[in-house]
Amino acid sequence: MNKLAYVFLLPLTAASHTPAAPLASAGVELSLRPVKWSIMGGNSPHDVVSGRTVPITLRADIAKGWHIYSLTQKAGGPIPTRIELIGAGDVLVRGVINAPTPDRAFDKNFGIETELYSGNPRFTIPIGVPGRSLTGLRRFQVAARYQVCSETLCLPPRTDKLNVALRITGRR
């Protein structure tokens, strides 16, 4: 990755007074935030029975002309996407995060085949609680660490955090 791209990107975005200004020569929206994450189903608490698992779906809205890398992106190139729970206490990821099949493309900037997502990929996280968990509401965050790139430019990796509420009920 050309480190000069970072030097030129910051003055361009700082000069723009809008969140996304068109970069006519590349046909790409120039923004420091070309990816917006959301939890499907909104902010309502997700219900789970003590000792069970509930799927929580995380969606990435990626601006046209940009992409992120898969959860399984091989080392030696871009930063793979990583999804984890923060401040979850007795709430944990139980199993494998379900992700769409990534597109594969050789990236001349990294010199390797990359696995990438564009558009609106969804990641389903199997979230569970132990059978001994007390009933009630748990608040925690889902953190998505990722690197976003266009055909000619990569932004530094960042971590976005989303608030999640889980309502634990007793076994029936």
Q: Which of the four pLDDT bands, split at 50, 70 and 90, describes residue 134? A: confident
Domain ranges of the chain: 35-169
Phi/psi zone of residue 48: left (φ > 0), alpha (ψ -120 to 50 degrees), beta? beta
pLDDT of residue 157 exceeding 80: yes
C-alpha to C-alpha distances, 64 to 29, 59, 74, 118, nearest whole angstrom: 7, 15, 24, 8
pLDDT in tens, 49-70: 999 999 999 999 999 999 999 9
CA nearest neighbour of 77 among 96, 100, 104:
104
The C-alpha atoms of residue 67 and residue 117 are separated, in whole angstroms, by: 5
DSSP 76-144: SSSPPPEEEEES-TT-EE-SPPB-PPPEEEEETTTTEEEEEE-S--EEEEEEE--TTPPSEEEEEEEEE
> Which pair of tokens denotes residue 120?
């609106």
**pLDDT at residue number 30:** 54
CATH homologous superfamily of 35-169 equals: Thiol:disulfide interchange protein DsbD, N-terminal domain (2.60.40.1250)
Q: Give the confidence band of 110 by pLDDT, cuts at 50, 70, 90.
A: confident
Question: Among residues 106, 35, 21, 27, which one has the least CA distance to residue 67?
Answer: 35
Tokens of 15: 């000069």
Split at pLDDT 50, 70, 90, the class of 151 is confident
Backbone angles phi, psi at 8, to 5 degrees: -80, -25
pLDDT score at 101: 97
SS3 6: helix
Q: ∠ CA 63-66-71 to the nearest 5 degrees?
A: 105
Q: What is the pLDDT of residues 67-94, one digit of tens each?
A: 999 999 999 899 999 999 999 788 999 9
Q: What is the mean pLDDT of residues 94-104?
A: 96
